[in-house]
Every structure is written in C-alpha cells, then in structure tokens.
Structure 1
C-alpha cells in the first residue's frame, strides 16, 4: 500500500525571495498576527483582565468583519502573487492596526500608571514612555502593512 501524498499546512506558508534580506524580514513580519493571538491567549489566561479579553473580542470581531468585506468586495490579489483568496482588505494589516490603535488608546487615555493597588516596587511609566511605546506599536503595524505590499500579497490600495 502506497502512502498518500503529504499536504502543506498553509497557516504560516509565506512566499519570499531568499536572496533578498528585506523579503526575509517581511516574511517574519507576516507572522505577527499569529504571535499576537498567542500573546492574547497568554494574557487572558494569566491575568484574567477584562480589558484584555474585551480587546481580543474586538480583535476577533474586526477579523470577522474583514472576512465578510473580502467576500463582499471580491478584489483580486496582485498578478505577481499566486495566493488564494481575495486581497481587499488585507487581514494582516487590519489585525495589527486594530491591536496598535487599541493599545495606543489604552496606554494614552485609559491606563493609570499611579494605581492605588500597585506594589511597593512598582515604577510608574511616564506619559512620554507610554507615547513612545504607542509609536513603536504603530510603526510595527505600518511595517507589517508595508511587508504585505513588498511581498506582493497586496496592492497599496488593499492595505
């Protein structure tokens, strides 16, 4: 009896040019949404914070809306890409931007670094530190969105 042919698990299957170092970095950036899901699950499990759970519910709602929009708009991916599915809107870009904007809004508007229940060893973060972290999150989201264009998975309009 002959073994059946093996199939590829395409969850993390990213096409990139191995001779191009920027393409290699872009391929790793494509894995950021999966890393964020692991981070959400870990934080929900370990902290039991309602804010983290609500952020994850919002993230999944945004993903469901993206799925529906792709099927409503039905815009093809760039011709250079042999990927499956529709290209508009980019689920990678919306995923990381939802996270980045949510984190930014939480850090700059909601977070109280001087909480009364903080431990004696707690060092509060300044507004400048929180703003810098917010900028880093938004820059990372822009890098992920740019990587989708660089790898020819999306056009600039789709991102």
Structure 2
C-alpha cells in the first residue's frame, strides 16, 4: 500500500470548505486536480453516500480510468471515496480551528500496486506525497480566493 497525507489551514469555515469540496465536487474537482480529464456521475441528484462516479486522469503521462463510490459523507466533517479498480481510497477531513477556519486533511491510499509497478514503489510514493501536498495547496488557494470569509 502507498499512503500519502497532507494538511493545510484554510481561512474559511468548515461549512464553506465542505461546500466547495463535497457539495460542488463535480464542478470544482477538476479545478484543484488538473490531472482529471473526464468526470461523470452515474447517480442523479446531489452527491450522497452511494453516489458512483467515473474519472479519467493523466498522472505523469499515465492515463487511468476508475469508477469510485462515495462511502462517507458527513457535512462539514468528512468526505470519503473508494475505488476497487484501481484500488484506492481518498479521504477529506474538515476540522474547525480557533480562528473560525478549517484544518483540511487530505489522505490518499493506493491499496495495491501492479506487479510491474513494484520496482518503482519509492518513486510512486514520492509522486503520491507530492500530489497530496499540491492538492491541499490548490484547495486553499481556490477556496480562499472564491469563498467569503466568516462574519466576525
């Protein structure tokens, strides 16, 4: 398993950060993760536990397609996606801080490496960790630029 985690303080409320990430996911995900080339949901209506999506990504020149399902959705607290092919987990956690902001923690787990990719595991770990850091920085930049700060 390859696991990466990154956290960032965002100067917006957990509700605002959650809305940007979870409620507006279909619209905003390709913006904070430009590797996403296609994103579609098979489930109609607002996202909820059980919603199924399909994405096509190009990471470092490698194209992957995956089906994923929302497995946890707790307003202003947590959003989790899981996929079985390839096998991964993506988790966003939203924790309020003392300054009316949010500590966002992003976790990515690649649960299984193909046999032919195992010799490159160290490079993959580094790329995944770099991607996690880039994800939270992109989210911080977009959310703080577009979401109104909490009223004082």
Give the TM-score taking structure 1 as reference length.
Answer: 0.33
Give the TM-score taking structure 2 as reference length.
Answer: 0.34
Which protein, 1 or 2, shows the higher relative CO under an 8 Å CA cutoff with sep ≥ 6? 2
- Whose helix proportion is higher, 1 or 2? 1
Q: Which structure is larger by alpha-carbon Rg, 1 or 2?
A: 1
- Whose strand proportion is higher, 1 or 2? 2
